[in-house]
Structure 1
Amino acid sequence: MTSEKTFDAQSLICVECGCPIEKLFKIFSNGASRLAICKYCKKDVDKYVEYDAMALFVDLLLHKAAAYRHWLFNSQVNFHWRLTAIGCLSDAYARHYNTNLSVSGQNDYFKLELRYYYYFIISTILFILSFQLMYRIVVYLPTLTTYKQRDRKIVVRGLLLANFGKLFILCAAIWGRIPTSERSDLELSTVYLYMISLLVICSNAEAIMVLLESSYIMAICITVSVMIIKNCIGFLLERVIPLDAFERFMLSLS
């Protein structure tokens, strides 16, 4: 059984149908307990409370809505801020890694460090802007439509946790350096990074679908639109604040 703390009854839902429930377990007179049965879909309200954490993680990778409902509503996860920090660091490393691969004979480690700081600032700004945009869509869209209105704390946690796929950038940094006879390190790494980007888009769409109780097509449209805006702003940021100007400014301070 997972070691996560359960929420209060007001936020509990059935992971199969998404309907609100009063409790996860039914307690019998002899002290025994078993999973409660949802009165709407007649299934166990949350099978994941008896699952191992790794089994839950696999279902999250498979984008099962039930796993996301458990993660967002029926479990207390308090590492979403740490996950966000690691995600920003990983995203910055991916940007720096791709740029660094195209540079041959680079021995100035101080400049390489400055480059990482530059891309970390860019990645953090882009994450804040994209998160704010997605948060406001999820919070205010239900006021204009029939989509489900959620508690804002759950929305924040859900949108932050949905970026867990960025952690795989660390794996891409390791395995992307493996040389092959057919393709270069840069090409191999790019494939990994595109796959990770697709995973992040799909996980964000799944989280939005669960939060709003919308169709998957609508969730994909919201996610892709935000990602396009994010990439456009990133393109403009790198033109307004070019890397060379940032390096000269930082070197002038040293």
Structure 2
Amino acid sequence: MYSCINCDAEVEELYRRYSPSVLKVLKCKRCGNLADKYIEYDPVIVLVDLVLLEKPAYRHLLYNSNFQSYWKLMIVLLLSETFRVWPTSDSSKNFDSNDFKTTSFEVERSFYILLAYTGISLGAFVVAVIISTEIRWFITGKTPDKYKASHLVRALIVGGCAKLLGLLGLVWQHVAHDSYYGLIHGYTMLYMLTAYSVVCESGRRDSLLGLAAGLLAHKYVSSWLSSFTQELNATSI
């Protein structure tokens, strides 16, 4: 089953192909609009609407498109976030530049450790969001018909794409890193709120409550891993 990008109703068909070059997009029986206008659109236009936080574009991507490389997108997000944090991390500043062999080994090792920490923190975020959402469905007893935990994971991965803008800061070498990354985090929240509301069919307030547990878990795990690393370095010295 597919989904109407306008009213989110289930539809059996999105289009009918009468010949290799003739395709007719079908209308939704509930709202009377085209079930998915993006079928005839260029992917660049879909990407632009995703950036503009248009819910129909998210429904098209999550329910009606053939995109399945979410795991590749997740790896790109992990690497980009690690590259963004790595130059400013404490582990990359405490090496002796005179010892090239030791320094290169330690720098590479610190990158992989930071990559693992980033994966654990983001994993904690996703798990906490899923658990809090399932608890909310259990309490209210109103689970959306199309809701699946796998769809929510995909939505969170898509929502995290806004963090890729952080790589521009490394290229442009911004002076005001805090304000720049603050804007990126704010836009990422809007991205995730939109994706979450599409999957869970909820308003922005309920979506924010659903993401709050994930944000708290991410912050707690990140702080714990940072303190654990500092204690480990202190004991090794």
Q: With structure 1 as the length reference, what TM-score do the two structures score? A: 0.78
What letter corresponds to residue 193 of structure 2 in structure 1? A
The whole-number CA distance in structure 2 between the counterparts of 1:247 and 1:67 is 51
1:212-251 mapped onto 2 (5 Å cutoff)? 212-242=200-230, 245=233, 248=236
The whole-number CA distance in structure 2 between the counterparts of 1:132 and 1:105 is 35
Show CA shifts across 1:188-228 (max 9, x none): x3333222222222221111101110111211232234213
Show CA shifts across 1:140-164 (max 9, x none): 5334322414133323322222211
Residue 182 (structure 1) aligns with: none
- Contact kept? 1:201, 1:224, Cα under 8 Å: no
Q: 1:28 to 1:92 in 2, by over 3 A?
A: closer
Q: What RMSD in Å do the two structures reach over aligned CA positions?
A: 2.9
Cα distance, 1:87 vs structure 2: 0.9
Cα distance, 1:26 vs structure 2: 4.2
What letter corresponds to residue 44 of structure 2 in structure 1? M
The whole-number CA distance in structure 2 between the counterparts of 1:93 and 1:25 is 42
Residue 162 (structure 2) aligns with: 165
Query: Helix, strand or coil for the counterpart of 2:10?
Result: coil
Query: Helix, strand or coil for the counterpart of 2:4?
Result: coil
Stretches of structure 2 that go unaligned for 5 or more consecutive residues are 98-102
Query: Helix, strand or coil for the counterpart of 1:34?
Result: strand
Residue 83 (structure 1) aligns with: 73
The whole-number CA distance in structure 2 between the counterparts of 1:32 and 1:134 is 43
Residue 117 (structure 2) aligns with: 122
1:24-173 mapped onto 2 (5 Å cutoff)? 24-26=14-16, 32-99=22-89, 103=93, 107=97, 108-145=103-140, 146-149=142-145, 150-173=147-170
What letter corresponds to residue 81 of structure 2 in structure 1? D
Q: 1:54 to 1:247 in 2, by over 3 A?
A: farther
Moved over 4 A (4+): 26-29, 102-106, 246-249
Identity %: 21
The whole-number CA distance in structure 1 between the counterparts of 2:69 and 2:155 is 12
Q: 1:246 to 1:33 in 2, by over 3 A?
A: farther
Q: How many residues align?
A: 229
Q: 1:204 to 1:243 in 2, by over 3 A?
A: farther
- Contact kept? 1:142, 1:212, Cα under 8 Å: no
Q: 1:91 to 1:208 in 2, by over 3 A?
A: same
What letter corresponds to residue 129 of structure 1 in structure 2? A
The whole-number CA distance in structure 2 between the counterparts of 1:148 and 1:208 is 13
Cα distance, 1:247 vs structure 2: 11
Q: With structure 2 as the length reference, what TM-score do the two structures score? A: 0.84
